[in-house]
Structure 1
Amino acid sequence: MLCVADGEAQAQSEPTALVDQQHCMFCHTVDAPFLAPSFQQIAAHYRNMPDASVMLEQKLRVGGKAHWGDMSMPLPADRGGPLSPEDAHTLVQWVLNQ
């Protein structure tokens, strides 16, 4: 999500507690591919796709097939536990604004 202050867009700050809880950095980094694409790569790929946010939020909540190479999104139980729709939305909006 972008916050607008004094006419300038500023990127949302990292939702650190959620990133830590979901172990996002075990596979992703902000700016370079690791075991999975970087958050910047994900943002560039999905930013202008209709309904990308909904698809990505669902993938965070239930896991999903691989869209980048051979690695699929682990199930929530394998990466930190269940994720509420609101928390999934927060994470996806932060990633898409990288």
Structure 2
Amino acid sequence: MYHQQSLKELSNLNIATNKKDEYNKIFEILISSNSLKSASEILDLFKKLVNKKYIEKEIFNDFLESGDFLFYIKKYLQHSQIDITDIKNHILS
């Protein structure tokens, strides 16, 4: 029984990891294709996608909290476009 439960938990973890990886690819594409906008404008775009239920709020919040958002905006935006001082202010409740 314990072994079956462990396999199920591992399977769920793999699904969650794969889902996060897939969303990160989408986030990266959206950031790179909007590289003329500021970071806050891109965040507003993401928030609209969450509000329209295209992106799950938990996935969005994890993207911000994990540091992945900061990684991608530093990769694709100029320093002058990064106008966010505290990412925690953008976490959705």
TM-score normalised according to structure 2 size: 0.32
Structure with the larger helix share: 2
TM-score normalised according to structure 1 size: 0.31
Larger Cα Rg: Structure 1 or Structure 2? 2
Structure with the larger strand share: 1
